[in-house]
A and B are shown apart, each in its own frame.
Chain A
Amino acid sequence: MSLLELDDVSVTYRIASGEVPAVRGVSLSLDAGAALGVAGESGSGKSTLAMALLRLLPKEARVGGRILLDGDDVLTMKWGRMRAVRWAEASIVFQGAQHGLNPVRKIGDQIAEPLLTHNLAKPDEARRRVTELLEQVGLPAWRARSYPHELSGGQRQRVMIAMALACSPRLIIADEPTTALDVMVQAQVLSLIKELVAEHGISLIMISHDLSVLADVCDQLAVMYAGRLVEHGPSREVFREARHPYSKALAAAFPTVGDPGSRMAPKGLGGDPPDPMQLPGGCSFHPRCPVAVDGCSTLDVQLWPAGPGRTAACVHARAEEEVS
């Protein structure tokens, strides 16, 4: 059985001026020890989806469908059970570590906090565990006594990772863990995540707008657009030869390091993501799609098989599949 299973998950924000669909019918699954990358522009619903996994969305959000963590539906859990699951079974590495840490509390206390909250350690054990965790992410033990602002961006992100590992969870959700870091530090943090996840056999969901980063770390890739899954499959294949034109554009937006071809022809995507309150009919992507055909503005495209272990929500992908 898979560790995490999303079944037709949808998230709708109810605001004064109406309902905003942020995530629309996403189904995914993740095996224990596997790594899944979720890609998309800002506003594609990827972060909302991640927050929904631990029911961290504001109360204006309505979540539908089923989110099974180890067979238990997160959405129908009692609050006590929900709190017990949080961090102990699934923890989160947040984007922009500068705001993810409480500015007026010492690093060590913040790392130890979940251990103490879940009664996994007594205070002195927790202190030892903090030292151990800091070592694992490459920070000296005395850093436990520092405040977040005394650390660099990369160090703070390491602290976030140490914190996520504290309760030895089975799943880590990393939401844009390397955004706002410079390239060198980004690479260090990425390889750190990769190694730790592999070493501890933790499952990983990594969220990013950078397809190349995801392809590097994850086994599977899921691409989201306007709240929907538009492509899913093994990461290398999705990255190298995407079937959905949106995935293609995302892959092209970030040049592969060392590949002169991608540097010569950076293909950015024109236009902006659609306003979730006024989604275009048919395939939501058709107004920006370079290869849209007549039917795209009316036909609601589903995820279709697009090669071994792959799906894509595009008429072209289906046509290719039927031809082959």
Chain B
Amino acid sequence: MTALPDAAEPAVQAAGPAEETPSSRGMLRYALSKAGGALFSIAMVVIGTFFVFRLLPGDPVRNLAQGRNMTPEQLDLERHRLGLDQSLINQFFDFVGDTLRLDLGTSYEYKRPVLDLIGERLGPTLLLAGTGLVIAVSLGLWQGIHAGWRHGSRFDRFSTGTSLVLWSVPTFWLGLLLMMVFGVGIGPIPGLLPFRGSESIDAPDGFAYVLDVAAHMVLPCLTLVAVVYAQYLLVMRSSLLEEVSQDYITVARAKGLRDDDVRRRHAVPNALLPTVTLVFMRIGFVVGGAVTVETIFTWPGLGQLFYEAVSVPDFTLMQGTFLLITVSVIVMNTLADVVYHMIDPRVRSA
């Protein structure tokens, strides 16, 4: 019989089927350590926010008052309202305590709790950024896969060229152009799409309302997608190029698989995992894009709220939105990392 004992490698074999338990325990340990890291990062963000907002040169109240006339009494009142007349240590503990209780203070501009404002604006942002992200990821990955698979082809050169241009375009400028061409209309062409807010003033009910919001979303979404998807395309393409030259791709061809199957079953699964992770690691970039896009198209989301806070400026509102945005980015990052470790067999048991 041809079966040979695995004499040279008994240890590996002995570790056989029972290795699932330590592996999943390792996974749990990994997830916990990542969560710990994230908590640490969040703590650093909270502390950092506190000091940045209070210790940087200049009196925060004066900074905030720029452009407005305020009497010394008003300044004192404002200082007291912000707790700035207390000692730094006391301020710090108050701040941490409040933040932990999710009390983000009261907006100077709106005279309302920051958390309530954020709550109102969260929905539109999730709708816009979520839709944009889904489209950008699917389009970017699809095009990146096809460009990388046929690298050097006309499609590849076209895709890479477009992405490089889009990558260089400032988001807001693209938004302005789209607004001018499709919103306002140019020359004899009338404007086709609404470009202010998320719904018409006389918004209809029911399904017509959905259509109305969708129409309002086209331009901001298009702008966001255009800028974000170019990055995904480039990352996916180079990731696929790494895989194309691997031996196992040649093996798959040698097995008699169709070209499409070699791509779908072998190259893409390998290239996809790291790419998707990278994509979600860079979610901060999408956030930046969302702030810009919401500002231009006056989309009533978190980004616009943050922009308002910065331009008023509204100290507590800016601090609250900044904390929320940063913490969500950290959480998403950590999730992406942990999920990657869970689904990629190469790192799962390593």
**What residues of chain A have their CB less than 8 Å away from a CB belonging to chain B?**
51, 54, 56, 83-88, 91-92, 94-96, 99-105, 113-114, 117-118, 135-140, 142, 147, 149-152, 154-155, 163, 184-185, 188, 191-192, 195-196, 199
Contact = CB atoms under 8 A, between A and B. Distances in A.
B17 interface: yes
B12 A192 contact: no
B2 A196 contact: yes
Interface in B245-261: 246-248, 250-258, 261
Contact of B258 (A83, A87, A91, A140): A83
Given A103-B345, A104-B346, A138-B3, A87 B12 contact: no
Contact of B251 (A94, A104, A184): A94
5 interchain residue pairs of minimum CB distance: A86-B256, A138-B4, A99-B247, A147-B345, A114-B255
Nearest to A96: B247
Contact of B256 (A99, A114, A135, A195): A114
Given A86-B253, A105-B269, A163-B251, 6 more contacts: A100-B248, A100-B251, A102-B266, A137-B4, A149-B345, A149-B349
B168 interface: no
Nearest to B7: A188
B45 to A, nearest CB: 34
A86 B254 CA distance: 6
A149 B257 CA distance: 23
Contacts of B346: 103-104, 147, 149
B269 A99 contact: no
Given A152-B12, A184-B8, A83 B250 contact: no
A103 B347 CA distance: 10
B3 A151 contact: no
B17 A142 contact: yes
Contacts of B270: 102-104
A117 B257 contact: yes
A54 B2 contact: no
Given A104-B344, A136-B3, A188-B4, A155 B9 contact: yes
B340 to A, nearest CB: 12
B16 A140 contact: yes
Interface of B: 2-9, 12-13, 16-17, 19, 246-248, 250-258, 261, 265-266, 269-270, 273, 344-346, 349-350
B16 A142 contact: yes
A124 to B, nearest CB: 20
A272 to B, nearest CB: 24
A171 to B, nearest CB: 12
25 contacts: A51-B250, A54-B254, A56-B254, A83-B257, A83-B258, A94-B247, A94-B250, A94-B251, A99-B246, A101-B248, A102-B269, A103-B270, A104-B273, A104-B344, A105-B269, A113-B257, A114-B256, A117-B255, A138-B5, A147-B346, A152-B9, A154-B8, A154-B9, A155-B9, A188-B8
Contacts, number: 110
Contacts of A103: 248, 270, 345-346
A184 B6 CA distance: 11
B8, B17, B265, B344 — most chain A CB neighbours (10 Å): B8
Nearest to B13: A140
B254 A87 contact: yes
Nearest to A182: B8
Given A103-B345, A104-B344, A152-B12, A92 B254 contact: yes
Contacts of A84: 256
Nearest to A185: B8
A99 to B, nearest CB: 4
Contacts of A147: 345-346
Nearest to A113: B255
A145 B35 CA distance: 30
Contacts of A117: 255-257, 261
A88 to B, nearest CB: 7
Given A99-B247, A103-B345, A113-B257, A136 B13 contact: no
A99 B248 contact: yes
A113 B265 CA distance: 10
Contacts of A91: 254-255
- Count chain A CB atoms within 10 A of each CB in B6, B246, B346, B350 and give the residue with the most: B6
A101 B345 CA distance: 13
Nearest to A193: B2
B250 to A, nearest CB: 6
A196 B3 CA distance: 10
A104 B247 contact: no
A199 B1 CA distance: 9
Contacts of B254: 54, 56, 86-87, 91-92
Contacts of B3: 135-138
A95 B16 CA distance: 26
Contacts of B8: 154, 184-185, 188
B13 to A, nearest CB: 7
